[in-house]
Structure 1
Amino acid sequence: MAQKIKNIAVLTSGGDAPGMNAAIRAVVRACSYYKVNCFGVYKGYEGLINNELEELNARSVRNIINKGGTFLKSARSKTFRTVEGRQKAHANLVKNNIDALVVIGGDGSFTGALKLSEEFNFPVVGVPGTIDNDINGTDYTIGYDTALNTVVDAIDKIRDTASSHNRLFLIEVMGRDAGDIALNSGIGAGAEEILIPEEDMGVERLIESLKKSKTTGKTSSIIVVAEGDTSGKNIFELGQYVENNLEGYEVRVSVLGHIQRGGTPSCFDRVLASKLGVGAVEALLDNKREVMIGIVHKKVTIVPLVDALKKRVHKHDKLIKVADITSV
């Protein structure tokens, strides 16, 4: 392993995701294993601009693998979007003798990492951490599995009330551009209908489908809606439309919101985060830069950051068919 790097910094940026702590832990302990110094950057890129760095060792990250969120904190930095902000961030990296940076986050975080690398010829590696599972070049992102389990658990509880009162519940889950959470949690929780950004079902088709379900004897229904679905201006307007055009149901709306980001990470996310964190350090020590560490067919892979930032092509046809068949 060609090792020239002596000091690596790690930060978490953008929305938090369960498993980020496990990824930080893996980066820090991989650095310790390979005799490299590791520095944690607090509050993402904003902390880098404000020089909020602290040296970490293997004991600094004990007992965090099971905790949600990120102990390094996260923030969205408007200043880092400017050339001046990135110049200040780079100056602090140089001042602290940092040789490379690991960025744990989503597409916005990776965009910033790529700009930092391109403008200052600085080695950067990304680790995909977002519950939306919307990063190109990896089958799974850190936090996605935990979020799915959180959503399914919530829908299971809501279904108890729906069944008790003959109600129809519209449940909004996260996913502005990607329907992965809605589609998979909807199937897992037995939803009658699933609305995702990639498929324009249309309100009329939705009403017809619900009417058909009612004629088959269903007395309650669960509809899972990704936040990026455009069937209505918002889920509350959609709920009102359904209530006005469908007799026999009381319609209720539940927005799960940020509950999906929290909680103890699943075993899958802990293992995934550990693999990707170690992979990030090893990639840097192998002189890789401007790349993301992903996982494809259970194998850790290295993907150029520019490719990771390309719009992901979602192929949901098979899952949509499964949803249609199992919801009759």
Structure 2
Amino acid sequence: MSESGVTTRREGGPMKVGLLTGGGDCPGLNAVIRAVTRRVADAGGSCLGIQEGWRGLIRGMFRPLTPEDVDPTIGMGGTILGSSRTNPYKSPDADVPNLRRNFAEAGLDALIVVGGDDTLGVAARLINDFELPIVGVPKTIDNDLELADFSFGFDTAVNVVVESVERLRTTAESHRRVMVVETMGRSTGWLACFAGMAVGADYILVPEVPIEVPHLIASLRRKREAGKNHAIVLVAEGARYPDASPAVLESDAFGHPRLGGVGSLVAHAIDRQLRAETRTVVLGHLQRGGAPTVHDRVLATRMGLAAAELILRRRFGTVLTLRGSQIADVPLESSVLATRSLDLAYYQDAAAFFY
């Protein structure tokens, strides 16, 4: 280990690099896979795709990756390797030894892990426990990782929400309705806030700011009295009332709740107190799907190239960061995987329209 806590191996020769994508799928993942495969191949090495995230490494589910195979995938959504929310440390006595054995038997020299806080958290533990040679690449459509000012996948998701709301607006206008649109955003409101600003939403509700129903109703009422006969309200799934927990549907393998239902609660309050016909639309997994935007294709490609470069330099135990337009790396430790809340300066700008 170096003084920074980063494992640096000095052996030369071509490398065999494993690559996995874990957690929720995200536009731009295939661009990362493409860039890593090309850069490693150009250096004389080879890449082995690990299917379905950590599950694939536990079970030995591999597929070769070549530049010719991955070249057409830059504009594809999702991930050609598949993904899962498998947590090896949920059954560590069985799954972790299997993971390590399959890594060794596959002849891998290093592993690139692309994921959010849960997937990268597993990587951090494997580095700490076994010094597994790993480089991490952060991704999330929620834009809620402290590692990156903006994550690839976020721009695409915002554009999907904007397009969906623009379609819903015509129905709201035609039927004089209030449309409450529930977006993803378990603990942060980046997606709801940016999309809400972009579509000119009448009100936006985010986890960082407790829901104030009286203010919401008063704002919508003033607009109706001024002649606006419809409204658009965006609410992040993790938004909550003061002194209340968010609505929980179930929990995943990492113990995180799957949220949902706050849109219906808000819509009911509007319908009852404003006496305006109100409908709820939950966008759900629509926000993850589709082809990545140009911004996300470029950022993901740059991230893939940077990760491959760290592998080729044998600078393991690291994770990429993005500050402004600059990609760098820091030691991959649990402490760097903090959640980044919505910068409330953005919300204050959006709130200028909640008159």
2:306 to 263, 269, 279: 279
CA 1:82–1:119 in structure 2 vs 1: closer, same or farther (change >3 Å)? farther
Give the aligned partner of residue 309 of structure 1.
Answer: 337
SS at match of 2:296: helix
Instruction: Tell me by how many angstroms 1:140 deviates.
Output: 1.5
What secondary structure sits across from 2:49 in the alignment?
strand
1:292 aligns with 2:325: no
1:57 matches 2:66:
yes
Cα deviation, residue 302, structure 1: 0.9
Q: TM-score, normalised by structure 2?
A: 0.88
Distance in structure 1 (CA, Å) of the matches to 2:290 and 2:342: 27
1:133 counterpart residue number: 143
Number of residue-to-residue matches in the alignment = 326
Counterpart check, 1:8 vs 2:17 = yes
The aligned counterpart of 2:92 is 83
1:62 partner SS:
helix
Aligned-pair CA distance for 1:203: 1.5
Alpha carbons 2:27, 2:289 under 8 Å: kept: yes
Distance 2:123 2:87 in 1: 14
For structure 1, the residue ranges without an aligned partner over 5 or more in a row are none
User: Helix, strand or coil: the match of 2:156?
Assistant: helix
Taking the TM superposition and a 5 Å limit, the aligned residue runs for 1:123-272 are 123-231=133-241, 233=247, 234-247=262-275, 249-272=276-299
Report 1:111-130 matches (<5 A): 111-130=121-140
Higher deviation after alignment, 209-218 or 101-110? 209-218
User: Aligned partners of 1:185 and 1:3: how far apart in 2?
Assistant: 48
Name the Cα RMSD after superposition: 1.7
Instruction: Please give the alpha-carbon distance, in whole angstroms, between the structure 2 residues aligned to 1:77 and 1:243.
Output: 41
Q: Is the 8 A contact 1:90 1:116 kept in 2?
A: no
Q: Distance in 2 between matches of 1:132 and 1:324?
A: 20
The percentage of counterpart residues that share the same residue type is: 36
C-alpha separation between the residues in 2 aligned to 1:78 and 1:104? Answer: 14
CA contact (8 A) 1:182 1:224 kept: yes
- Within a 5 Å distance, the mapping from 1:17-32 to structure 2 comes to 17-32=26-41
Distance in 1, matches of 2:232 and 2:342, equals: 24
The answer on 1:106 being equivalent to 2:116 is yes
* Deviation larger for 103-112 or 82-91: 82-91
* 1:290 CA displacement: 2.4
Task: Mark the CA change 1:93 to 1:159 in structure 2 (over 3 Å): closer, same or farther.
Answer: same
Pairwise CA distance, 1:257 = 0.4
Give 1:100 shift: 1.0
**TM-score (normalizing by structure 1):** 0.95
The letter of the residue matching 2:188 is A
Q: Deviation per CA, 1:236-276: give whole Å up to 9, x if none.
A: 122112111113x2100000000000001101111011000
Letter in 1 for 2:71: R
Segment drifting more, 218-227 vs 111-120? 111-120
Task: Find the aligned partners of 2:336 and 2:290 in 1 and give their Cα distance.
Answer: 27
1:125-163: per-residue Cα shift (whole Å, max 9, x none)?
111122111111211212111000000000000011111
Change over 3 Å in CA distance of 1:3–1:170 after alignment to 2: farther
Runs (5+) with no aligned partner, structure 2:
1-7, 248-261
Q: Check conservation: 1:49, 1:80, Cα contact below 8 A.
A: no
